[in-house]
Structure 1
């Protein structure tokens, strides 16, 4: 029996865990929207998913007409004529209703070529906040309005008229796209100027009007959105794509959800340009697709995911190393022990390999035909722990995955609801099920065959010894493993991960590591009482 029981048991565990991990990788890649050169773009989620984008195409007149009809907000629709290159200054003045209590003034230039491109982001904020807005050539006649206020000069225009005035802040950038992003992030708390939409701000329902510098006039026609939807301005590229500064910024605006995607906050784009490519539209839209709080969605990894992937990869690499190394260098070690070290090391990144070398780089002696190693008490305890942990912890993970994948048969009775209502929760029932299922597997497929090969006892006594050792070992491991998995899934991770989430496996891996650390000192007590041995 010993010749086939352990390899079959290990293969069973390996197949279940490999299936789960590979299925998780497969589903993650499928929804990531990855597009290769030979891939049909019509079948890609990346280019079809446009639920976060509203597309307003046409001239300034077309955009103006659409918004005048669709926005039922009189203050937002204050302008009564279509902006043109000749009248856009008057359009801005008429559109902004100034609040005299605002303690800052925005200054823009209208003299240089392309002045509207530089001024548009500031105009949108002035519209939203009812901020006083002056053109540079109006300063001489309005110096009294600037007394006691902080002045924000936005753009690359000439602002000589501001010389001699105090509290002047210049906000400029080399390109309109960079200026738009800079203004979207900017916030002066003293005067409450600026959108303040940087990466660290995780609340708020942010809207953006996206146009190109050459179509700034159409963007200006969408000015009512600054009031009705608190929309800031961003610039796309003239080539149909997104400038790097804009692309980086929009991806930083991805919002997270804790329980369901419907809870908010949300981001939305109003695309006011006919030049943006469909691919860029898809990327723009997908950049703010909401993701669970614990990760960054299907196209990126959050820090917790990255940590558990590295953690698991190191463990699997260590297990492969121990399997190969023990096969060629430890002929005197029984295959069940090699399997236990291999499976255990997979859940103990780095530590498993360190303990393996400390256990077998020791003097040897012989008890009959059996090879033994002279080990200090701490390494004996670690080796004894690995014998139970190597089979018990992977078994519990495999059983838990089967329950998570197929579902756990839960029933409710009146007695349970009244006296043991806590047992109706899925987590404690799954924990009990994974513990009991793994315990039975280890007793009949590991401990009983091992005792049968080493001892000449009746079947009843063999089962009792196997039960006692398996129960003590797995209970010790479970103390740390169950506690850690409960804390991570129920407390630390806002939304409990499912079986196709890498965080599910990562939680189990980390919880198993803690389970080993808890079981290690407990196994020292069992060695002292001759319940277990740590010199094999």
Structure 2
């Protein structure tokens, strides 16, 4: 029996945990469904309106007409004519009602071919905030307006003609897309200039109009959204993709929920360019999809997830090292013990490898045909702990995963639920089920065969002794493991992680590590009582 029971349990654990981790990786790398990259206006509503993105098709006249009809608010009205390459400056002047009490004034360029591309992000803020806006070729005519106010020059960085007009702050960039992102982040509290939409700001229902530099007129036609929807302007690329600076910024705008996805804040994009591919639009939509605070969803990592991944990766690496090292350098060690050290090292990253090396880099002696190692008491206790922990803790995780994946069978009647209703909570049932299931596996597949090969007793006595050792070992591990997993899942992860969430594995992995640390000193007592041995 001893030749096959240990590998059976090890293979069971390996298959279950491998399946779970691979499923988690698969779920983690999957992204929103791909859509065709063309710009077919007949492709359907799905491509025009997603959860977080609305697309307005056509050129400036069509966009202007759609928004004029759908946004009737008086305060959001813009000029009553469609902006063109020739009249866009007049459109801006008629669309912005300047606040006479404003503490700042915005200066934008209007004297070169691509002036609108550079000016548009500032025009959107001016429309939203009723900020005075002056074109760079009309500075002298607006000297009184500039006087006494802080001047924000928004352009590519060539405002030498502003000298002598007062305090000037230049906001410049190497591209219109970079300038738009800078302005979306910028905030001067003293003069109330700038959107101030940084990553650190976690409140506010932010909206954005997204166009391309080549379609800047489309963006200007959607200027009413600056007032009606507090929409800042961002740029996609003329090639249909998203520039790195824009892509990075929109992902930083992803908001999280603590208890339920219905919590705010939310983000929304208005796409007013037919150049943006539907792949780019779907990326916009997915970038601001709300997610639980601890893990940030399927395509981004929160700090707890990052720690869990590093922890699990180090554990797997340690297990591989122990397996290879023991296979080639310790032929005298029994296979069941090698398996225990390998599985234990997986759940006790780094420390497991250190203890393994300390356990076997020792002088040896012999008890009959058995090789033994001379170890100090602390290492004996660690070795004895690993013999029970190496099978027990991974088995508990494997059993818990099976329950989580298929669902825990609950057979309580209404009368039973009335008296022990607390047991109906998923967490206590899960803990009891994983403990009991793993205990049965360890008794029959580990402790009984091991005792049977080492002792000449009746089967009943051997089974009883195996039950005693397994119960003590797994209970000692569970004291730390269950407590920490409860604390993490109930106190620090507001929504219970599912079985395809790395936090599910990470919580139990870290809890197992703590369980080992708790069981280690308790195994010292069992060694002194001659219940367990730590020199194998």
Whole-Å separation in 2 of the counterparts to 1:116 and 1:505: 52
Name the residue aligned to 1:453. Answer: 453
Checking the alignment, whether the CA contact within 8 Å between 1:477 and 1:516 is kept in structure 2 is yes
Asked if residue 107 in structure 1 is aligned to residue 104 in structure 2, the reply is no
Whole-Å separation in 2 of the counterparts to 1:54 and 1:28: 26
Matches within 5 A, 1:288-327: 288-327=288-327
Name the residue aligned to 2:484. Answer: 484
Post-superposition CA distance 1:173-232 (Å, at most 9, x none): 222111111111111122221111122223322211112223222211111000111111
Whole-Å separation in 2 of the counterparts to 1:54 and 1:514: 49
Whole-Å separation in 1 of the counterparts to 2:151 and 2:49: 42
Aligned to 1:75, the other structure's residue is in SS state: helix
Whole-Å separation in 2 of the counterparts to 1:467 and 1:48: 64
Asked if residue 84 in structure 1 is aligned to residue 94 in structure 2, the reply is no
Name the residue aligned to 1:266. Answer: 266
Q: Tell me how far 1:381 sits from its aligned partner.
A: 0.4
Aligned to 1:170, the other structure's residue is in SS state: strand
Checking the alignment, whether the CA contact within 8 Å between 2:78 and 2:223 is kept in structure 1 is no
Q: Tell me how far 1:288 sits from its aligned partner.
A: 2.5
Pair 1:48–1:30, CA change in 2 (3 A): farther
Whole-Å separation in 2 of the counterparts to 1:70 and 1:521: 71
Post-superposition CA distance 1:262-293 (Å, at most 9, x none): 33332222121222233333333333333332
Post-superposition CA distance 1:376-399 (Å, at most 9, x none): 000000000001101110111011
Whole-Å separation in 1 of the counterparts to 2:48 and 2:23: 25
Name the residue aligned to 2:527. Answer: 527
Matches within 5 A, 1:116-195: 116-156=116-156, 159-160=159-160, 162-195=162-195
The RMSD of aligned alpha carbons is 2.5
Report the TM-score, using the length of structure 1 for normalisation. 0.91
Name the residue aligned to 1:59. Answer: 59
Whole-Å separation in 2 of the counterparts to 1:168 and 1:401: 62
Checking the alignment, whether the CA contact within 8 Å between 2:250 and 2:287 is kept in structure 1 is yes
Name the residue aligned to 1:43. Answer: none
Q: Tell me how far 1:71 sits from its aligned partner.
A: 1.0
Matches within 5 A, 1:26-45: 26-31=26-31
Post-superposition CA distance 1:131-190 (Å, at most 9, x none): 222233444344444444322121147645532243321111222111111111111122
Post-superposition CA distance 1:423-459 (Å, at most 9, x none): 2210111111111111122122221222222222233
Pair 1:327–1:60, CA change in 2 (3 A): closer
Name the residue aligned to 1:285. Answer: 285
Whole-Å separation in 2 of the counterparts to 1:105 and 1:147: 9
Whole-Å separation in 2 of the counterparts to 1:320 and 1:49: 49
Matches within 5 A, 1:498-509: 498-509=498-509
Whole-Å separation in 1 of the counterparts to 2:24 and 2:307: 16
Whole-Å separation in 1 of the counterparts to 2:181 and 2:430: 49
5+ long unaligned stretches in structure 2:
38-45
Post-superposition CA distance 1:67-86 (Å, at most 9, x none): 00011322112422222333
Checking the alignment, whether the CA contact within 8 Å between 1:210 and 1:273 is kept in structure 2 is yes
Aligned to 2:200, the other structure's residue is in SS state: coil
Pair 1:523–1:400, CA change in 2 (3 A): same
Moved more, 236-245 or 522-531: 236-245
Whole-Å separation in 1 of the counterparts to 2:332 and 2:49: 60
Q: Tell me how far 1:24 sits from its aligned partner.
A: 2.2
Name the residue aligned to 2:42. Answer: none
Pair 1:325–1:33, CA change in 2 (3 A): farther
Name the residue aligned to 2:40. Answer: none
Moved more, 182-191 or 12-21: 12-21
Name the residue aligned to 2:17. Answer: 17
Checking the alignment, whether the CA contact within 8 Å between 2:106 and 2:133 is kept in structure 1 is yes
Post-superposition CA distance 1:226-281 (Å, at most 9, x none): 01111111122223332222222222222233344333332222121222233333
Name the residue aligned to 1:200. Answer: 200
Q: Tell me how far 1:416 sits from its aligned partner.
A: 5.5
Checking the alignment, whether the CA contact within 8 Å between 2:180 and 2:234 is kept in structure 1 is yes
Name the residue aligned to 1:40. Answer: none
Checking the alignment, whether the CA contact within 8 Å between 2:32 and 2:282 is kept in structure 1 is no
Whole-Å separation in 1 of the counterparts to 2:267 and 2:97: 26
Name the residue aligned to 1:41. Answer: none
Whole-Å separation in 1 of the counterparts to 2:49 and 2:387: 51
Checking the alignment, whether the CA contact within 8 Å between 1:311 and 1:349 is kept in structure 2 is yes
Pair 1:156–1:12, CA change in 2 (3 A): closer
Whole-Å separation in 2 of the counterparts to 1:167 and 1:112: 24
Checking the alignment, whether the CA contact within 8 Å between 1:108 and 1:157 is kept in structure 2 is no
Moved more, 315-324 or 513-522: 315-324
Whole-Å separation in 1 of the counterparts to 2:11 and 2:215: 63
Moved more, 526-535 or 414-423: 414-423
Q: Tell me how far 1:510 sits from its aligned partner.
A: 1.1
Whole-Å separation in 2 of the counterparts to 1:143 and 1:411: 82
Aligned to 2:496, the other structure's residue is in SS state: coil
Q: Tell me how far 1:32 sits from its aligned partner.
A: 6.2
Checking the alignment, whether the CA contact within 8 Å between 2:157 and 2:170 is kept in structure 1 is no
Number of equivalenced pairs = 527
Whole-Å separation in 1 of the counterparts to 2:329 and 2:163: 82
Moved more, 262-271 or 115-124: 262-271
Asked if residue 436 in structure 1 is aligned to residue 424 in structure 2, the reply is no
Asked if residue 376 in structure 1 is aligned to residue 376 in structure 2, the reply is yes
Report the TM-score, using the length of structure 2 for normalisation. 0.91
Moved more, 409-418 or 460-469: 409-418
